[in-house]
Amino acid sequence: MGKPISRSHSLLLHKPSSPPLSTTSSSKISFQSRKIRKLSTNKTTSTTTAITSTSIPHLKPLSHKGEIELALDHLSKSDPLLAPLLNSHEPPALNPCTSPFLSLTKSILFQQLATNAAKSIYTRFLTLCDGESQVNPDTVLSLTAQKLREIGVSGRKASYLHDLAEKYQNGSLSDASILEMDDDMLLNRLTKVKGIGVWSVHMFMLFSLHRPDVLPVGDLGVRKGVQSLYRLKNLPQALEMEQICEKWKPYRSVGSWYMWRLMEAKALANKAAKKT
């Protein structure tokens, strides 16, 4: 999906490249654009009771045929305030998933770096591994911290990469198990990896696994989008985000994507206004 505006990445879904610190758009992951279509604005009653993160089983990934359309129909009916955004922005289109291990490795390498710098390091890393197809736990563990430093990877990130690879080798994680875990279990297991926090897991679930019901409550772009859409006085905190966005379930990932688009549109409008 599109990246967030907390350093949003463009997918044409954009995803943020680092924890929620700023509100600019950057690296591309890739949601290809589609034709804009009008949606109904039927109103339905929504509840905003306090909730905790829960997983809804048996939902298909958003990249599955027809899932984006189902999400847009649901959001247009459950939240009339979203209808103008759904009608004025192209819907997200997801690219095929890569292996979870490769995606998590790339996430670690891109952390806290400007997009161009991260891409340069990642390209050198792939050369060191002999291509993306060879990025696996054994290969990563064969790379010493010194070798990784020589291509621009910090000692701390090298330890993160090694910890991820070790958890794959000892069976704590695997590509197959990651694909099978529900959202809560996945969050619990991946945050045990050094260097991977809640925000990183949310981005991984959104942009690599295409999970449909992820609400990144710590992402600045999504929080600002909710604040703007609902005309809130203050930036919403996690619990308020959960309450307000309850009506988006089970497609909070798509609702979040539109929050990034909303903030991008506002940034462009402000930029254009300054030129006049």
Q: Tell me: the pLDDT tens digits for 188-228?
A: 999 999 999 999 999 999 999 999 999 999 999 999 999 99
List, for residues 140-194, the tens digit of each pLDDT value. Answer: 999 999 999 999 999 999 999 999 999 999 999 999 999 999 999 999 999 999 9
- Burial class of residue 125, CB neighbours in 10 A (0-12, 13-18, 19+): buried
> DSSP class of residue 248?
G
- Counting Cα atoms < 13 Å in the Cβ hemisphere of 257 gives 34
List, for residues 116-141, the tens digit of each pLDDT value. Answer: 999 999 999 999 999 999 999 999 99
Enter the tokens of residue 63: 């990249």
> DSSP class of residue 63?
T
* CA–CA dist 268, 168 (Å, integer): 43
With cut-offs at 50, 70 and 90, classify the pLDDT of residue 29.
very low
User: Do 72 and 91 form a contact (C-beta atoms < 8 A)?
Assistant: yes
User: Do 132 and 102 form a contact (C-beta atoms < 8 A)?
Assistant: yes
Q: Name the maximum alpha-carbon separation found in the chain.
A: 60
The b/e string for 199-229 (b: 16+ C-beta within 10 A; e otherwise) is bbbbbbbbbbbbbbbbbbbbbbbbbbbbbeb
Helix (H, G, I), strand (E, B) or coil at 9: strand
List, for residues 223-257, the tens digit of each pLDDT value. Answer: 999 999 999 999 999 999 999 999 999 999 999 99
Q: Which pTM was predicted? A: 0.80
